[in-house]
Structure 1
Amino acid sequence: MHPNSAFRPKQDDLAELLVREIGFAAIFAGTPDGPRVAHTPVVLSDDRATLRFHLARGNALTRHLDGTTALAVVQGPDAYVSASWYAEADQVPTWNYVAIEMEGAVRRIDDNALVALLDTLSADHEARAGANPPWTRAKMNPALFGRMTGAITGFEMRIAAWRPTIKLSQNKPADERERVAAGVEATGHGALAQLMRHLGGDRGNA
């Protein structure tokens, strides 16, 4: 988490919204073989207390996660910020970015909960994709689906700490923020520019 409190959102629901919208995380944990990371789609519970995800059984983290403490990181858009974009003198280059960290104890979930997780994931993302009709597991041979789910393991993290960083030039005056937004947009980072314009002012400040 960035040490400048200006980059921590004051709205409790902003970090939650970004996790739901992005829906993909890196899961970090220590193992006897050293630190490892896995990348996976995630589902945040309605009460924002738990994060569910699944990993391949052969993943280097899978056999070590149950009962350990892990860190989940959801990253949004990011871009380099040139100091030449500022009107104010004596500035340095920086990087604007969105990152949500969640820490907590992880437990393995049973097969029924894993299937429910997969159903939720597919329903959410099929709707976003505009698939008509949407894919469901009812379209699969049940035996084949069972073999495929047998190759993965589901987990639930009980979130003990949220550490969001929404670094969108909130520490700069409005005119400087707009110059930076225009700069990152011109370099092909339109999503970050849009976030800067919507979240980089008072709404995003701590």
Structure 2
Amino acid sequence: MHPDPSFRPKDADLAALLVREIGFAAIFASTPDGPRVAHAPVVLGADARTLQFHLSRGNGLTKHLGGAQAIAVVQGPDAYVSASWYTAADQVPTWNYVAVEMEGRVRKLDREELVGQLDALSESHETRAGIDPPWTRAKMSAAIFGKMADAIIGFELAISAWRPTLKLSQNKPADERARVIEGLKAQGHGALAHLMEQLGGRG
């Protein structure tokens, strides 16, 4: 998390909304082999207190996660900010970005919980994709689904700390922020520019 408090969202629900909408995280943990990271789709619990994910049994992090303290990071849009977009003197280039860190203890899921996670994950994204009828595992052979499920392990991170950062030039005057927004739009970073317009002033 960025140390400047002006980059922390004031809306308590915004971090959870970003995690649900982006739906993909990097999972970091220490192992006897050194620090490791894995990348996985995630399911945030309804109460925003748990984050579920699954990894291949062959992933270098898998055998070390049960009982470990880990950090999950969900990243949104980001872009370079040119110092030439400012009018004030003695400015330097920087980077605007959106990131949400979640820390907590990880537990291994049992088979029923893993299947529930997979069902929730596909249901959520099939709905968003507008697929009609949506894909479900009922369309698969039960034996093949079982074999594929055997190749992965499910986990749940009990979130003890949220550390979101929305670095959207909130520490700059309104006229400078407007120039950054226009510069980002010209570079094709429309999503980040839109966030600055909608959220940057409020955090």
Question: Structure 2 length as normaliser, TM-score?
Answer: 0.98
Aligned to 1:65: 65
The alignment partner of 1:105 has SS state of: strand
Deviation at 1:87, TM superposition (A): 2.0
Is 1:106 aligned to residue 131 of structure 2? no
Aligned to 2:136: 136
Matches within 5 A, 1:149-188: 149-188=149-188
Aligned to 1:10: 10
Q: 4+ residue runs of structure 1 moved beyond 6 angstroms?
A: none
Is 1:43 aligned to residue 43 of structure 2? yes
The alignment partner of 1:153 has SS state of: strand
Deviation at 1:138, TM superposition (A): 0.6
Deviation at 1:131, TM superposition (A): 1.2
Please give the alpha-carbon distance, in whole angstroms, between the structure 2 residues aligned to 1:115 and 1:185.
42
Please give the alpha-carbon distance, in whole angstroms, between the structure 2 residues aligned to 1:125 and 1:174.
37
Aligned to 1:194: 194
In structure 2, runs of 5+ residues without a counterpart are none
The alignment partner of 1:102 has SS state of: strand
Aligned to 2:123: 123
Matches within 5 A, 1:79-94: 79-94=79-94
Q: Deviations over 1:78-128 (max 9, x none)?
A: 000001011222211000000100000000011111001001100111111
Say which is worse superposed, 88-97 or 105-114, in terms of deviation: 88-97
Say which is worse superposed, 183-192 or 145-154, in terms of deviation: 183-192
Deviation at 1:8, TM superposition (A): 0.6
Please give the alpha-carbon distance, in whole angstroms, between the structure 1 residues aligned to 2:189 and 2:22.
16
Please give the alpha-carbon distance, in whole angstroms, between the structure 2 residues aligned to 1:16 and 1:161.
12
Please give the alpha-carbon distance, in whole angstroms, between the structure 2 residues aligned to 1:93 and 1:35.
30
Deviation at 1:26, TM superposition (A): 0.1
Aligned to 1:23: 23
One-letter code aligned to 2:87: A
Please give the alpha-carbon distance, in whole angstroms, between the structure 2 residues aligned to 1:174 and 1:20.
30
In structure 1, runs of 5+ residues without a counterpart are none
Please give the alpha-carbon distance, in whole angstroms, between the structure 1 residues aligned to 2:175 and 2:111.
54
- RMSD of aligned alpha carbons: 0.7
Q: Deviations over 1:56-97 (max 9, x none)?
A: 000000000000000000000000000101122221100000
The alignment partner of 2:99 has SS state of: strand
Length, aligned pairs only:
203
One-letter code aligned to 2:63: R
Question: Structure 1 length as normaliser, TM-score?
Answer: 0.97
Please give the alpha-carbon distance, in whole angstroms, between the structure 2 residues aligned to 1:178 and 1:122.
39
Deviation at 1:10, TM superposition (A): 1.4
Please give the alpha-carbon distance, in whole angstroms, between the structure 2 residues aligned to 1:46 and 1:153.
21
